[in-house]
Amino acid sequence: MIALLLRDLRLGVRAGGGFGLGLAFFLIVTVLVPFSVGPESGLLGQIAPGILWLGALLACLLSLDRILALDWEDGSLDLLATAPLPMEGIVSIKALAHWITTGLPLVLVAPALGVLLNLPGPGYLWVTVSLLIGTPALSVIGTFGAALTVGIKRGGLLLSLLVLPLYVPTLIFGAEVARRGAGGLDVATPLTMLAGITFGVIALLPFASAAVLRINLR
pLDDT category at 16 given cuts 50, 70, 90 is: low
Max Cα-Cα span within the chain: 58
Number of H helices, E strands in the chain: 10, 0
Sign for the CA dihedral angle at 42, 45, 50, 54 comes to positive
pLDDT category at 215 given cuts 50, 70, 90 is: confident
Predicted structure pTM score? 0.89
Taking only Cα atoms into account, the Rg of the chain, rounded to an integer number of angstroms, comes to 18
**pLDDT one-digit tens code per residue, 176-203:** 999 999 988 999 999 999 999 999 999 9
Alpha carbon distance 24, 158 (integer Å):
23
**pLDDT one-digit tens code per residue, 44-79:** 888 889 999 999 999 888 888 778 877 777 777 878
Confidence (pLDDT) at 20: 77
Beta strands in the chain (DSSP E): none
The distance from CA 217 to its chain's CA centroid, rounded to whole angstroms, is 25
